[in-house]
Structure 1
Amino acid sequence: MSAVTPQRTFSSFAEFYPYYLEEHSNPACRRLHYVGSLLVLGVLGYVLFTQKWLLLLALPVIGYGFAWVGHFVFEKNRPATFKHPLYSFMGDWVMLKDGLTGRIPF
């Protein structure tokens, strides 16, 4: 019988973010998140410029695809998105900002 880890609860994003960073301790995983997030921004800019709205459907695949490869291949954990979708989405963008500004290792 396998042990089941109880789901952690968080009362704020500020409380969640340190946990989020723990779940992204592997540099390769973080970099894949950064690539996915930057590609999402690039595709979004392209869509707004060209008005090819159907490409918006690709955004979740691009963003989550890179991130999930990072988790399953490098971190060997389940993405926090599965249990904390809103905070995880916010965490992706804060982590990108923190990586680009040098607050956390790129």
Structure 2
Amino acid sequence: MNYRNLEEFWAFYVSQHSKPLTRRWHFMGTLSGILCFLFAAISGWWALVLAAPLLAYGMAWYSHFFVEGNPPATFGYPFWSLLCDFRMFGLMLTGSMDREIKRLGKRPVLQVF
């Protein structure tokens, strides 16, 4: 499916993260990645920059394969998926993700492939 803008993709992205445990794995992965970057910048231990995407994507992909049961949206839309992951992280951090899910309403679960 082709999405005309990020907001259209966002609705799809949220539908692919329907289970709270999937969103929690994503949150922990994104947080781990951010902390790796911050620690690398503070400590000068730049090898940690390589660990950041491994942790972030590893946790997110685990959640898709073993919790949600769908392919990661990253496979079809890598840049938009990254932006939406940060958006979901921010909404979860502020406690607004449940409200966003309700705002979007029930959407059909579409597959990337």
- Considering the TM-score relative to the shorter chain, is it more than 0.5? yes
Q: 1:42 aligns with which of 21, 29, 35?
A: 35
TM-score computed with the length of structure 1 as normaliser:
0.89
Query: What do you get for the CA RMSD once the two structures are aligned?
Result: 0.8
- Whole-angstrom CA distance in 2 between matches of 1:90 and 1:22: 16
Match of 2:7 in 1: 14
What is the distance in 2 between the residues matched to 1:35 and 1:21? 17
Other-structure match for 2:95: 102
**What amino acid sits opposite 2:34 in the alignment?**
L
- The residue correspondences of 1:30-69 to structure 2 (distance < 5 A) are 30-69=23-62
Residue 84 of structure 2 corresponds to residue 84 of structure 1: no
Deviation at 1:102, TM superposition (A): 2.1
Report % sequence identity: 36
Instruction: Give the ranges of 4+ consecutive aligned residues of structure 1 lying more than 3 Å apart after TM superposition.
Output: none
Letter paired with 1:89:
L
Establish whether residue 24 from structure 1 lines up as the match of residue 17 from structure 2: yes
How far apart in 1 are the matches of 2:80 and 2:13? 9
Instruction: Give the Cα–Cα distance (whole angstroms) in 2 for the partners of residues 33 and 66 of structure 1.
Output: 6
Aligned to 2:86: 93
Distance in structure 1 (CA, Å) of the matches to 2:63 and 2:47: 27
Give unpaired runs (5+ residues) of structure 2. 99-113
Q: Secondary structure at the match of 2:97?
A: coil
Unaligned runs of 5+ in 1: 1-7
Separation in 2, partners of 1:104, 1:57: 29
